[in-house]
Structure 1
Amino acid sequence: MSGKKRLILNLFEMNCVSHITHGLWRLPDNNRERFNDIEYWTELAQLLEEGGFDAVFLADVVGTYDVFRGSAATAIREGLQIPNNDPASVVPAMAAVTRHLGFGITFSTTYEPPFAWARRISTLDHLTKGRVGWNIVTSYLPNAARNFGHDGEVEHDNRFEIADEYLDVLYKLWEGSWDDDAIVADREGKVFADPAKIRPIHHEGRYFKVEGPHLPSPSRQRTPVLFTATASAAGTKFAGKHAEVVFTGGPDAASLRRTIAGIREAAVAAGRRADDVRFVTIAGVIVAPTEVEAKAKLARYQELASAEGYLAHANLPWDPTALPPELKLKDAANGDGGVGRWRVFDPEQSVGEFVAGFGDLGRQPLLAVGDPEQVADEIERWLDEVGIDGINLLQYHSHDTARDFIEYVVPVLRERGRLRREYDERETLRERIFGEGDRLPDRHHGTRYRGGAHLPVSGIADPARSHQPGRPPEPIRSHEKEALT
């Protein structure tokens, strides 16, 4: 039993009313409209920690869904990720009422500068004592681009080029700018930190120019656990180089297996091990004491599911609800066959069938509906046969989805050796996931700057402590400066 793969268990959340279960905010006793209240987040965090969850995974977007019907009106009516608050801002509140729960925070590399983000997440890593991860995204909404001064979206592969340099800046700040022993706190000598052990990074690249040094001192993890959410070719190469945990999916299990294999190959090509990357996928779980009760619960959810919300979320560039339901898709879709994000469609399918499919809660590839044993069986099947390492639990009802999972499924998975029975008091989020320490492993690209390696300056010269009065101090040059060329 001890040799079984342990499940990485996260809850999928967003600081908004309707995240990805559109229409279900109307369920009786659902708490979604309380997302502006700090108590929503503290109650949720305590519940998840009591249930042994590894982390809460916080999604985010920085624009509205305004492609469907040429307007954001549908998204606004549905509460579809608008109103929407900053995901990082709720982490300190949740961390203050927990000791072990981790936090995966979504943040985009495309529109905001790296120096400020490096500081923000290092601060969170300090405050949580090493419990944070970063879900690296590049943003895809046209409105997001316009919100940050662009006329349109940055081209897809170019976004990953920007992200690659963005990460390089961050590694220099997180891993190279400070030595671990830079803070000496010498009261008698009146020295809090040693300038010789802190260095600027002097990064000058195609997209960013950052002098440094990093403002926070080294946090427990230095670099937060690195998540990505991807399945594209450019994203696969990026994940192979940078990602520690990949949140991915696809229309079916076979597609997910191909994505996992491709990213593992990319990791090896980047000088890492194939098992250096963990994979989590979204999981729909509806559980009750009996299968009959679970299916009845699914039926209640299905009654409130909003097809229009899902159509808007897919950024559908045409409106099937305005067409006769019997019309074939081949006669309805736009000229290039596009039907929005994520969807592959059958041209012989009718418009009515197509719309119904968008609102069908049963279309989730990993969907487990049944009693506790049935649900545990399905999760184990995905762990062993599909090859995932964990799940982001989809919320149909807040907080009943998490509460049901904790009450009914967690005990079964623990008995089967798939979930730990208690937290390790000493571990960070990275140590919990990989069991290899708090910091990035040496084979990860980000560690090439450790100790100031591959940076142009090995320390900050201190005129007040110069041994040659009257002579301007020279910056201390790194013995590895030639590696920069």
Structure 2
Amino acid sequence: MSRQIRFNAFEMNCVAHQSPGLWRRPGDEAWKYKDMDYWQNIARIAERGVFDSVFIADVLGTYDVFGGNDLAAIRQGAQVPVNDPLQLAVIGAGVTENVGFGITAGTAFEHPVPFARRLSTLDHLTKGRVGWNVVTGYLPSAARNLGQKDQLAHDARYDHADEYLEVVYKLLEGSWEDDAVVRDAEAGVFAVPEKVHHIGHHGTYFDVPGIHLSEPSPQRTPVVFQAGASPRGVRFAAENAEAIFIGGPTKAAAKSTVARIRAALAQAGRDPYDAKIYLLSSIVTDETSAGARAKYADLLSYATVEGAQVFFSGWLGIDLSRYDLDEPLGNVESNAIQSALEAFQGENDRGETWTVRDIVRLGGIGGQGQVFVGDPGEVADTLQEIVEETDVDGFNLAYATTPGTFEDVVDLVVPELQARGAYPEEYAAGTLRHKLFGRGDRLPAHHRGAQYRVGGPLSTVDDVTGTGRPGR
């Protein structure tokens, strides 16, 4: 049997997520991002296509690197205005039964105690269909909005995130025992106090002495998503992530990144396939090859150069307004997304050095990802070839227009892949984690987070009184 390919719908609670200017194309509904009906429709489409999840990105600042201000970002609707992603999980789960919801939230701007409660709440309300995309942040404007002069240096952001995850794991995994809630009406005991433990965390960045405020949810810890591909980001992902999202403008770049991640997972004491790896991509398809190419040309006619420059300036940490369009990027340092910069400091598919024009052309549809254009058979051939050559598990599908791009994939590409035995016919039962790995609802025992369970090697519970040993 062919290797099973997996899809996520890559979305954001805004107008222009990865494809700037496409909101102008007739039929695009991105401007309805404020409406509950829009998100329920996206969730239904994703479930009809047996997608693993609707994965929702987020930022807390504006893209203001281009030109040194955010005027172009606002003009283009480039991830601004943007609404909160977390509520969308409950909205989508209310009209579906199986598809998961990956919500993005940063470790730099919210204390882990209220955030852990939000995670538990979402996991309860969705019956275990939530994943948390852990981001450390890359926009300086977000840091300034939260009262900081600038974001921490790249690697320091991951050091901070390490402790953030430690606190969250202690709260979600190590505070309430599974049988703490007894609901004994006769005895008048809802929960047994001796089975609810103070975590006693005292670290470099956080002091959290008390208990988690929510009882255990179906997954306890939602599925951990992560997208770091720098050396420090890969190490962080290898220790924590169960779903890892990568970019890669070429197959060679994607293959290299996947190999580094698989090796890092093994080095972290996990199986190299303990995390599903998804490649950022966009699909433009139609019933015929000619129709798909005509559609692609029409879509490109709505893409904006300025919008692509805004996005890539933010992602790369470079003000592209200072560069001629035909100038090579060269060797520059960045405090933004280092893996994105590294991908464009090599060669493109023509064996040439990437220029500003190249990345702007690439970013017209789908941002940093590759775009696959063709009829269903051609697209299926390409996807299977990429999985075979790069060892990715699936694709994080950015839209050109929404919901049209997702509908085309579900109606045309998914049936083709299913006919080849290369795509799931239906969902497995249970939580998002079980659907992905078939090993139950909770973190596996060898995962870093599971070590903080009561009785685990990293548990801070000292005794049955519920007190905690001092943490870090």
| TM-score of the superposed pair, with normalisation by structure 2 | 0.91
User: Does the 8 Å CA contact 1:294/1:370 hold for their aligned counterparts?
Assistant: yes
Q: Do the aligned partners of residues 391 and 443 (structure 1) sit closer, same or farther apart at CA in structure 2, a change above 3 Å counting? A: same
Question: 1:78 aligns to what?
Answer: 76
SS for the counterpart of 2:103 is: strand
Structure 1 counterpart of 2:17, which letter?
A: H
What is the rounded CA distance, in whole Å, between the counterparts of 2:361 and 2:404 in structure 1? 25
Question: 1:314 aligns to what?
Answer: 312
Question: 1:161 aligns to what?
Answer: 159
Question: 2:383 aligns to what?
Answer: 379
Question: 1:60 aligns to what?
Answer: 58
Q: Do the aligned partners of residues 376 and 183 (structure 1) sit closer, same or farther apart at CA in structure 2, a change above 3 Å counting? A: same
What is the rounded CA distance, in whole Å, between the counterparts of 1:456 and 1:63 in structure 2? 36
Q: Do the aligned partners of residues 36 and 375 (structure 1) sit closer, same or farther apart at CA in structure 2, a change above 3 Å counting? A: same
- How far the C-alpha of 1:199 sits from its partner, in A, is 0.4
- Trace 1:130-209 onto structure 2 (pairs within 5 A): 130-209=128-207
Question: 1:448 aligns to what?
Answer: 451
Structural RMSD (CA): 2.6
Query: Larger relative contact order (C-alpha < 8 A, sep ≥ 6)?
Result: 2
Q: Do the aligned partners of residues 154 and 278 (structure 1) sit closer, same or farther apart at CA in structure 2, a change above 3 Å counting? A: same
Q: Indicate yes or no: 2:227 matched with 1:229.
A: yes
Question: 2:239 aligns to what?
Answer: 241
- How far the C-alpha of 1:353 sits from its partner, in A, is 4.1
Unaligned runs of 5+ residues in structure 2 are none
User: Does the 8 Å CA contact 1:7/1:419 hold for their aligned counterparts?
Assistant: yes
User: Does the 8 Å CA contact 1:314/1:340 hold for their aligned counterparts?
Assistant: no
Question: 2:405 aligns to what?
Answer: 401
- How far the C-alpha of 1:230 sits from its partner, in A, is 1.4
What is the rounded CA distance, in whole Å, between the counterparts of 2:223 and 2:395 in structure 1? 16
Q: Which moved more, 1:102-111 or 1:341-350?
A: 341-350
SS for the counterpart of 2:27 is: coil
- How far the C-alpha of 1:401 sits from its partner, in A, is 0.8
User: Does the 8 Å CA contact 1:311/1:358 hold for their aligned counterparts?
Assistant: no
What is the rounded CA distance, in whole Å, between the counterparts of 1:346 and 1:227 in structure 2? 27
User: Does the 8 Å CA contact 2:248/2:370 hold for their aligned counterparts?
Assistant: no
Q: Do the aligned partners of residues 297 and 169 (structure 1) sit closer, same or farther apart at CA in structure 2, a change above 3 Å counting? A: same
SS for the counterpart of 1:9 is: strand
SS for the counterpart of 1:433 is: helix
Q: Percent identity?
A: 43
What is the rounded CA distance, in whole Å, between the counterparts of 2:193 and 2:335 in structure 1? 57
Question: 1:466 aligns to what?
Answer: none
SS for the counterpart of 1:329 is: coil
Q: Which moved more, 1:19-28 or 1:335-344?
A: 335-344
What is the rounded CA distance, in whole Å, between the counterparts of 2:285 and 2:237 in structure 1? 33
- How far the C-alpha of 1:367 sits from its partner, in A, is 2.5
Q: How many residues align?
A: 460
Question: 2:103 aligns to what?
Answer: 105
What is the rounded CA distance, in whole Å, between the counterparts of 1:439 and 1:155 in structure 2? 33
1:356-401 CA-to-partner distances (Å, cap 9, x unmatched) read 5355549966432111111111111112221110111111111111
SS for the counterpart of 2:273 is: helix
Q: Do the aligned partners of residues 174 and 372 (structure 1) sit closer, same or farther apart at CA in structure 2, a change above 3 Å counting? A: same
1:38-66 CA-to-partner distances (Å, cap 9, x unmatched) read 11111111222122222100000110001
Q: Which moved more, 1:198-207 or 1:447-456?
A: 447-456
What is the rounded CA distance, in whole Å, between the counterparts of 1:111 and 1:210 in structure 2? 16
User: Does the 8 Å CA contact 2:327/2:356 hold for their aligned counterparts?
Assistant: no
User: Does the 8 Å CA contact 1:52/1:423 hold for their aligned counterparts?
Assistant: yes
Structure 2 counterpart of 1:427, which letter?
A: G
Larger radius of gyration: 1
User: Does the 8 Å CA contact 1:52/1:421 hold for their aligned counterparts?
Assistant: yes
- Trace 1:30-69 onto structure 2 (pairs within 5 A): 30-69=28-67
Q: Which moved more, 1:428-437 or 1:13-22?
A: 428-437
What is the rounded CA distance, in whole Å, between the counterparts of 1:455 and 1:350 in structure 2? 49
User: Does the 8 Å CA contact 1:65/1:141 hold for their aligned counterparts?
Assistant: yes
Structure 1 counterpart of 2:438, from 421, 428, 435: 435
1:117-158 CA-to-partner distances (Å, cap 9, x unmatched) read 111011100111110001110001010010111101211100
Unaligned runs of 5+ residues in structure 1 are 461-474
- Trace 1:348-427 onto structure 2 (pairs within 5 A): 353=357, 357=361, 360-361=364-365, 366-424=370-428, 426-427=429-430
1:424-476 CA-to-partner distances (Å, cap 9, x unmatched) read 3x31101111111111111111111212544444567xxxxxxxxxxxxxx46
Q: Indicate yes or no: 2:218 matched with 1:220.
A: yes
- How far the C-alpha of 1:317 sits from its partner, in A, is 4.0
Q: Do the aligned partners of residues 372 and 74 (structure 1) sit closer, same or farther apart at CA in structure 2, a change above 3 Å counting? A: same
User: Does the 8 Å CA contact 2:200/2:467 hold for their aligned counterparts?
Assistant: no
What is the rounded CA distance, in whole Å, between the counterparts of 1:449 and 1:324 in structure 2? 52
Question: 1:23 aligns to what?
Answer: 21
What is the rounded CA distance, in whole Å, between the counterparts of 2:224 and 2:370 in structure 1? 24
Q: Do the aligned partners of residues 447 and 363 (structure 1) sit closer, same or farther apart at CA in structure 2, a change above 3 Å counting? A: closer
What is the rounded CA distance, in whole Å, between the counterparts of 1:318 and 1:37 in structure 2? 34
User: Does the 8 Å CA contact 1:177/1:452 hold for their aligned counterparts?
Assistant: no
What is the rounded CA distance, in whole Å, between the counterparts of 1:248 and 1:142 in structure 2? 22
1:236-256 CA-to-partner distances (Å, cap 9, x unmatched) read 111111111110122322222
User: Does the 8 Å CA contact 2:20/2:365 hold for their aligned counterparts?
Assistant: no
Q: Which moved more, 1:349-358 or 1:105-114?
A: 349-358
Question: 1:469 aligns to what?
Answer: none
Structure 2 counterpart of 1:396, which letter?
A: A
Q: Indicate yes or no: 2:300 matched with 1:302.
A: yes
